[in-house]
Structure 1
């Protein structure tokens, strides 16, 4: 029996929008995000990250200095483009994000997650998501922005949720790679989550010309991960 289609183009009340947001950031989403460490595995291999304080510095540093100046401002612009039904603008901002992924491995991760997001959202009756499956400019952030826009989630709220999902994925990777105990992982989430509101506020204030960040340690770790002998993660 075919399930009833979700009416995603009518206004969503606050309670339902909150539930939709929880679904978008759930660790159970079948997009494969658990398979990527974004350089953390190599940082552990190289001795850069070996305990809780070092994991906090690695993850927190990216949150403060990279996501605040790339993901947050680009998410806001992507949501504005989708809200205006401006496909060209959405592809432009998504392509810019892809260009800011410094290594082949990080670009491959972005495209793989984006394709998985596009298929999933298409199965959830967001039909315009399917058109992104094979786009060269596709990114996971663009598909998240599309879903958040269709579900009538405000950009600041969507940005906070996006950062939380990223943080949770990084801490999960740290549990397996460092390794960290589960209580230590919860302490790490508890501490770093406090930074998210300020990161979102600063990111939403970034001008077009100021979008971008330098993360040389991440780029080096990602490059070396491509040829790392033994690894659990795809990045």
Structure 2
């Protein structure tokens, strides 16, 4: 990969990317509140299952298709797969999260001279179809980042955000959090490779426990996170 592409990839994956991902725990806050997740071991089990059964067969697999559609300038295909992501979010908070992050990334990219992102901003022509992977892959394609590292970086960003949330919620020490992040990141390349092998009719993923945690979060008495 070209040096320029690597720089852009690191910029996309940086936790300083101003899209507000730090505000979402994706049910993890409720799982901690009910003592389902209590320490590094239970957190590892939670994140490993979510990655294997939800992130890989849904987020990463669809992101690969979005990369292809942006490359071929197939806007109808982009919209179709972006709606697929939205339809796969099982709770109101998760759908709101998807739209918020997508709109935020669209605004950021529009401000960084990617005019194709403008219609995906809040109020734009494609705002109703927006998803975070759709705008992530727009940036990857226009910045000449290949599909494989682009999806691995997206997986890394998800994992890092989850571990950072757990550090605050459990609470988990910074060293324990970094150690867990180091260990779980080792699964990312294989997960991305598996996502690339999935056919269209194999896409989608769900874990009832995670979904119930996301539902429980909507009525949690006190919350730090928006999901």
Instruction: Tell me which interval the TM-score lies in, with the shorter structure as reference length.
Output: over 0.9
Alignment of 1:64-143 (within 5 A): 64-134=52-122, 135-143=127-135
Per the TM alignment, residue 218 of structure 1 is displaced from its structure 2 partner at its CA by: 1.2
Per the TM alignment, residue 64 of structure 1 is displaced from its structure 2 partner at its CA by: 1.3
2:213 corresponding residue in structure 1: 221
1:194 corresponding residue in structure 2: 186
Question: Pairwise CA RMSD of aligned residues?
Answer: 0.8
Structure 1 outlier segments of 4+, above 3 Å:
none
Alignment coverage as a number of residue pairs: 223
- Partners of 1:110 and 1:72 lie apart in 2 by 14
2:168 corresponding residue in structure 1: 176
Per the TM alignment, residue 137 of structure 1 is displaced from its structure 2 partner at its CA by: 1.2
Q: Tell me, what secondary structure is at the counterpart of 1:68?
A: helix
Is 1:20 the counterpart of 2:8? The answer is yes
Per the TM alignment, residue 136 of structure 1 is displaced from its structure 2 partner at its CA by: 1.0
Per the TM alignment, residue 61 of structure 1 is displaced from its structure 2 partner at its CA by: 1.0
Q: Which runs of 5+ in 2 are unaligned?
A: none
Structure with greater proportional helix content: 2
2:223 corresponding residue in structure 1: 231
- Partners of 2:56 and 2:18 lie apart in 1 by 26
Match of 2:40 among 35, 45, 52: 52
- Partners of 2:13 and 2:205 lie apart in 1 by 24
Match of 1:207 among 185, 199, 208: 199
- Partners of 1:162 and 1:18 lie apart in 2 by 14
Given the two structures, how large is their TM-score scaled by the length of structure 2? 0.97
Per the TM alignment, residue 72 of structure 1 is displaced from its structure 2 partner at its CA by: 1.2
